[in-house]
Amino acid sequence: MLLTPNAMGPRLRIGLYLTTGLIALFLLLPIVFIVLLSFGSSQWLVFPPPGWTLKWYEQFFANPEWMASVLTSLKVAVLTTLCAVALGLPTAFALVRGRFPGRELLYALFTLPMIVPLVIIAVAVYALFLKLGYTGTLFSFVVSHVIVALPFTIISIINSLKLFDQSIEDAAVICGASRMQAVYKVTFPAIRPGMVAGALFAFLVSWDEVVLSVMMASPTLQTLPVKMWTTLRQDLTPVIAVASTLLIGLSVLIMVIAAALRRRNEVSA
């Protein structure tokens, strides 16, 4: 209670606002810079921009390589999302409802990819796919992305499943629904917010993943972050800023959707 803004006195309060503001600025400034630079007229990324233009956007959208990478990114992200939810849903049910030895261990195993350094997973998957000859395929992108997206999806679904009162499902069963019918008609609608959040997380993880993708990519099949990475190594063009802006834009959009869904759910619950 001592640390409510009103109780701490004006000096401390202003100090607090100031530090909070500085931290927010520190976090936001790079993003603001990159967005502004994508509209700047200087080819050398001069800041502040001498003038404003949309020509970098024109270049970006006119370039088939950039467009192909955006399309690949979207494809990979959508497929990763579908796979993560399809695998995460039964996994979450087993981990929450199951009564079997080694359940805790299995949970730890499924969440391991969140702790293991990404580069280790990347090297391992790369080595495997190199041997199998799958590198540079959509399949390799999706599989590697699912590995890192799955923990987020599983945790998100587990959380909503734990909050769900199983006697509601039992009520559906005693009303005449088979267990599967009850899960489809009652449990899924009730845990939908968790499923949607899990799906959005999976999409985001895939959408801005770069470490695994660099390993999986071929010159002809690249996701947007990989294309940015390879382009950046050759020359510094404002088109990179455009790609960054679009990357951030979609991420922000998804976060907003997730927040809106959460709020709607809180209101109706």
Partner 1 sequence: MSAVIKESAQADQPLVSLRNLNKYYGDFAAVDNISLDIKEGEFLTFLGSSGSGKSTTLSMLAGFETPTSGEIQVEGKSLIKVPPHKRDIGMVFQRYSLFPHLSVRDNIAFPLTLRKLQTAERERQVDAMLKLVQLDDFAHRRPAQLSGGQQQRVAIARALVYEPRILLMDEPLGALDKKLREELQDELRHLHRRLGITIVYVTHDQEEAMRLSQRIAIFSHGKIVGLGSGYDLYQNPPNAFVAAFLGNSNFLRVKAQGDAAAQFESQSLAMRPTAGLQAAQDLLLMVRPEKAQALTSQQAMQEPLAAGWNEIGATVNEVVFLGESLTYNVVTAGGTSLTVKALSGNLLPLQAGAEVRVRWAAADACVYSEWSESDLSKTAGAH
* Residues binding partner 1 (CB under 8 A): 165, 167-168, 170-179, 181-182, 185-186, 189-190, 268-269
Q: Tell the smallest beta-carbon distance from residue 161 to partner 1 (Å).
A: 14
Nearer to partner 1, 172 or 217 (CB): 172
Which residues, 6+ apart, have CB-to-CB distance to 32 below 8 Å? none
CA proximity to 35, closest of 242, 225, 250: 242
CB of 217 to partner 1, least distance (A): 43
Nearer to partner 1, 168 or 252 (CB): 168
Q: How far is the CB of 163 from partner 1 (least distance, A)?
A: 11
Min. distance of Cβ 189 from partner 1 in angstroms?
A: 4
- Shortest gap between Cβ of 176 and partner 1 (angstroms)? 4
CA angle 229, 230, 231 (to 5 degrees): 95
Residue closer to partner 1 by CB (options 11, 99) is: 99
Q: Long-range contacts for 103-110 (Cβ within 8 Å, ≥24 apart)?
A: 110/150, 110/151, 110/154
Between 105 and 269, CB nearer to partner 1: 269
Coil, strand or helix at 141: helix
Which residues share a beta bridge with 40?
Answer: 52
Pairwise CA distance, residues 185 & 112, whole Å: 32
Q: For residues 214 and 217, give the distance between their C-alpha atoms in angstroms, rounded to a whole number.
A: 5
Q: And the tokens for 126?
A: 């790369």
CB nearer to partner 1: give 109 or 171: 171
